[in-house]
Amino acid sequence: MTTGRTAVVTGGGSGIGRAIANRLAEDGFATAVLDLNAGAAEMVAAEARAKGHEAVAFGGVDVSDRAQVNAAIQSIRETLGPVLVLVNNAGRTGFKEFMKISDESWDGILAVNLNGPFYCCQAVIPDMVEAGWGRIVNISSSSAQSGQQYMTHYVASKAGLIGLTKSLALELGPQGITVNTVPPGFVDTPMLRGSEKRGLLGGTVDHHAELTPVRRAGKPEDIAAACSFLISEEAGYITGQVLGVNGGRNT
Ligand code: NAP
């Protein structure tokens, strides 16, 4: 059954975003798969369409560029209708000793992980206000709850996203719009496998799975399920919250 509502998932071409896009399409949202990687966005949209759902790719869009974001959201609006659900998932990671982080690297990570959600929220909120209903879910990181050595820039950006979530929730609550954040921890995606390959995890994914209370790595679908719930009608009384999905690694 379709909801008659449009959802945008940034970074929807890979890993967690891919699972969220597929899940929201399955939940009946007309889903815009927005990603820097055009081929990946198209592949995910085609995957959802093959299952009979409505999904369209908006590839080659950099969320850290306000003009690109505004143009993409306008195009999504014209193709699928007003945007009433936004999942800010696109993210970049980084690993560097604090004293060696360059201005360029600091700015680059904040541009994608924090400016991106800022631009995307500003682009879609007018649609939500007009409808008197909206759902925003920001994908932060469990590292913002615990801290993570050698990832100060990344963690600062994700902690900023938690602050953005809490403040925006207070501002938009009266207009029927909820804003929540899901900080994932240790989810088996290309990003995590890339860190494993570069020796940045301090052990293999399997080793860390053994140290995780539920004894496995997270699946992208675990994060998608949490998003699906926060976006549902019955989650309307939940806003400004941090819903950790991390196998018990952070409590
Ligand atoms: P992923 O597999 O690397 O997927 C991220 C997607 O975002 C990629 O398709 C990437 O495109 C796209 N992207 C990157 N920069 C972008 C930009 N500027 N504009 C638009 N799209 C962009 O990562 P993931 O593991 O699924 O992570 C998804 C989110 O969860 C991220 O925000 C990440 O920080 C967060 N997270 C993940 C974990 C984990 O354990 N995996 C833990 C905590 C938080 P390209 O491939 O072209 O770069």
Give the SS3 label for residue 80.
Answer: helix
Dist. CA 207 → ligand 1 center (Å): 23
The pLDDT tens digits for 131-147 are: 999 999 999 999 999 99
> Could you give the C-alpha distances from 67 to 73, 116, 120, in angstroms and in order?
10, 11, 11
For each of the chain's 251 residues, which pLDDT tens digit applies? Answer: 899 999 999 999 999 999 999 999 999 999 999 999 999 999 999 999 999 999 999 999 999 999 999 999 999 999 999 999 999 999 999 999 999 999 999 999 999 999 999 999 999 999 999 999 999 999 999 999 999 999 999 999 999 999 999 999 999 999 999 999 999 999 999 989 999 999 989 899 999 999 999 999 999 999 999 999 999 999 999 999 999 999 999 98
- Ligand 1: centre distance to CA 130 (Å): 30
Residue 142 is inside which H or E element, if any?
Answer: none
* Best residue for ligand 1 mutational test, from 8, 9, 16, 249 (most atoms within 8 Å of Cβ): 16
Given the residues 119, 150, 154, 237, the one annotated as active site: 154
Residue 154 annotated to the active site: yes
For residue 53, report the phi and psi dihedrals to the nearest 5 degrees: -100, 165
**101 in Cβ contact with 152 (< 8 Å):** yes
CA distances from 205 to 82, 113, 170 (A): 40, 24, 38
- Ligand 1 lined by 17 (C-beta under 6 Å): yes
The answer to whether residues 181 and 123 touch, using CB atoms and an 8 Å cutoff, is no
Architecture in CATH for domain 6-188+220-235: 3-Layer(aba) Sandwich (3.40)
Q: What is the pTM of this model?
A: 0.98
Nearest alpha carbon, ligand 1 atom 46 = 37
Measured by CA distance, the residue closest to atom 39 of ligand 1 is: 187
CA 14 / ligand 1 centre spacing (Å): 7
At 133, list the tokens: 């209903």
Confidence (pLDDT) at 125: 99
Mutate to test the pocket of ligand 1, among 8, 9, 14 (most ligand atoms within 8 A of CB): 14
Is the CB of 247 within 6 Å of ligand 1?
no
Give the closest residue (by CA) to ligand 1 atom 6.
Answer: 11
Q: What is the distance between the alpha carbons of residues 79 and 52, in angstroms, rounded to a whole number?
A: 18
**What local confidence, expressed as pLDDT, does residue 1 receive?**
82
